[in-house]
Structure formats: structure tokens, C-alpha cells
Amino acid sequence: MGQWTKLVECHPHGIPDVLARQIDEHYGALFASARQLRLADRLHGDIWVYRSQTAGFVHAIFLYTCSGKEIRVLSEQVGVLAYEVERFVDYLFERHPEVDRVLFFGLDMGELRTTRPYQRYFCAEDIVIPAVGSEQAYTDKLGKSTKRNIRRRSAALAQRHPSMRFETLDASGIGPALVAQIIAFNRARMASKNKMSTYCDEDADRLAVLAADDGMAGIVRVEGEIVAGSVCARIGHNYYMMISGHALGFDEFSLGFLCCYWTTQACLRRGAREINLMGGRLDYKYALLGDSRKYDSLCVYRSRQAMLGFLPDVIGTACRGSLIEARFALLDCERKPGAAAQLVAHGIRSWRAAKTRRMQEAS
């Protein structure tokens, strides 16, 4: 076993491409990727890079910035071992004596054993199709009702629209116009349900840039016209299905679900280890074998005395964290057995139905 080492660099003008590729290969995480951080305008000023490795094998890579008494870690929504986080934090307080707290957003890790005071709370969730191997292995694992629905809906769609074709596009074929069309499908369908889409017109350029480096799209054509699509970014060996949508008038065929399923198969054919369906607890994601992956925010303080220096923030963080965790604890009841959980779930569904009725009446 080689000796553990840490390597630290400072890049005053962003980070080099070779490092960006190394981060993508190590985490396969969209929100830790250089392309996402550049789009969010977070790679300016001095960017510090920390690597933990043994005999050339990298255990963790963190990007961070320093500002006064605070360090913000830019690597977000990543899976990392808890003791690597502890080693990293200990190094930061040693290397930067002026710093009194370190902030993380989006860590998938185990229990911390640090003696330093810290605040940790749930902050985000993705629905992820884990490594399943081949396309056939994935199909075999689908539930019986899901397989039956796929066969039945596919057959009905092909019978009604014999010209229907599913095809994939490489990154070179994905531009803002295509993404904008799929966003328009998404927004129109959400509006038909009296709901607000999370996407806006300005997202087209951003998503096209994220998909431009080895990404792919799955699209469905009828009479040569695009009627559905899913756009994916590739980060390392993982794919992120960033936006999906289908034209109104195809709901009876569950076309959006079919397009996501076919796109998932295409990702697996391209060697995907994981397929991240992003946030949002939608039934079709679970039908496609998606599992919940939760991330925590973490704030570690140098000492209890240092923690008191941030007292208003400490109180605010505790309140925000409690509210977020309470909200998601309620949502968890929708997927839990037991009479109490199902009673809460019924209340949530009734509240949603009442909200939809009020929106329909207002419109």
C-alpha cells in the first residue's frame, strides 16, 4: 500500500482542461464539473484544488475558494467517504489559519467522526438509475407492469403513427433550438396541468452547452417532425437526463415515459454506469428503476468559539435545515408502508388536488 499524500494547487484564472477531465472521471457529477461551474460563473478569482491520493490513486478532489474567514467548497452533489471530508477540513484549517468555517453543499457520505463542531442537514435529492450493466440486464430488472405498459404503449403508438421513429443524436446534433423545442413541450404540458415548469427559455443555451461535450439526445419523430425528446449530458461515465418533454396530443401513449425509457437504453449502449434522472419525485422515474440519492449540506467550524462568531448564521442554518428536512420527511411518507405514513400521504395528495382545483378555477 502506497503512502497517502495530499496535493494542493492554486489556479488564479480558472482550472486547466486536464484537471476538469480528471474531476469528471473521478466523480461523474454534473454539479462538480468545470462546465457547470463555468456556466454558473463560479470559477473566477483564485481557485484552490485539493487532491487526496495514495500511490497515484485519487480518493477525493475538491475545488474551493477562500473569502475572509470562510471557505466555500465548489464541488457539489458528490459521493465521498466521510473520513476524506474530515482530512480535507483538517488540512484547510491548518493551511488557512485565518479561516473559521468551511461550507459544503451536496455531500453523499457516511457519518462524520470529527470532534469539531458542525451543522449538517439534508439539502437536495436526485433520482438515479444505478449501475445495472448491459441494456438487457436493465430490461430484465424492470417490473412486470412496467414491461407490459412499455409493450402495450409502444404497439399502440406504432399502430396509430406508423411513421414513428426513435433516434439518437450525438453532441454535435444538439443545439439551443432542439433544447428550446423540448423545453416548450415540457412547459406546455405542465401548463395543461395548471402547473409551473421549472424550465424557462433562457435554459436552452445552458443545457445545450452542458450536452455539447460528449452528450446525447433521444428524440421521437412522427411524419419526420420531432414530437418528444430527452437531452443528456455525459460527465465521466455517467449520464444526466437534464430535460424531457413531448408534444401535447400524445399523452394516451405515455410518450414522455417511452422516450425516457428508449433514451435510457441508448445511454446504456454507450457504456453508462449511472443515469441520473435529476430531482423531482415523479412516478415514471421509479418505474425506470430510479433510486433516491440524498445529499447533505455541511458547515464545519474551527472551534466552538469560532462557531459563536457566526451565531446569526448558525441559527438561520438550523432553521432552514429543519424546515427542509421536515418537508422531505412528509414527502417520504408517500413511499413508505404503514397506516400513519399512508394517512400523511393521503393528506398531501388531497392538498395537491385542492391546489390544482384552485388554480383551475382562477384560470
Please provide the CATH number assigned to the domain covering 4-125+294-332: 3.40.630
Question: Given the DSSP bridges, would you call strands 118-129 and 101-108 parallel, antiparallel or unpaired?
Answer: unpaired
> In this predicted structure, what is the pLDDT of residue 146?
96
Find all residues with CB under 8 Å of 159, minimum gap 6, and list them. none
**Residue 352: per-residue pLDDT:** 52
- What pLDDT does residue 198 have? 85
For position 308, what pLDDT does the model report? 94
Instruction: Provide CATH 3.40.630.30 ranges for the chain.
Output: 131-289
What's the confidence (pLDDT) of residue 363? 52
Identify the pLDDT of residue 354: 60
Note the pLDDT of residue 7.
83
CA distances from 113 to 84, 118, 231, 236, 336 (A): 11, 11, 40, 30, 30
> What pTM, to 2 d.p., does this model score?
0.89
Inter-CA distances, 93 with 17, 86, 100, 117, Å: 28, 11, 7, 13
The whole-angstrom separation of Cα 320 and Cα 52 is 32
pLDDT in tens, 190-218: 888 887 888 888 899 999 999 998 999 99
Q: Is 175 left (phi over 0), alpha (psi -120 to 50) or beta?
A: beta
56 exposed, middle or buried (CB, 10 Å; 0-12, 13-18, 19+)?
Answer: exposed
pLDDT tens digits for 19-66?
A: 999 999 999 999 999 999 999 999 888 999 999 998 878 999 999 999
DSSP 80-120: --HHHHHHHHHHHHHH-TT--EEEEEEEE------SS-EEE
Are the C-beta atoms of residues 267 and 249 closer than 8 Å to each other? no
**What's the pLDDT at 345?**
53
Low-confidence residues in the chain, pLDDT < 50: none
Topology (CATH) of 131-289: Aminopeptidase (3.40.630)
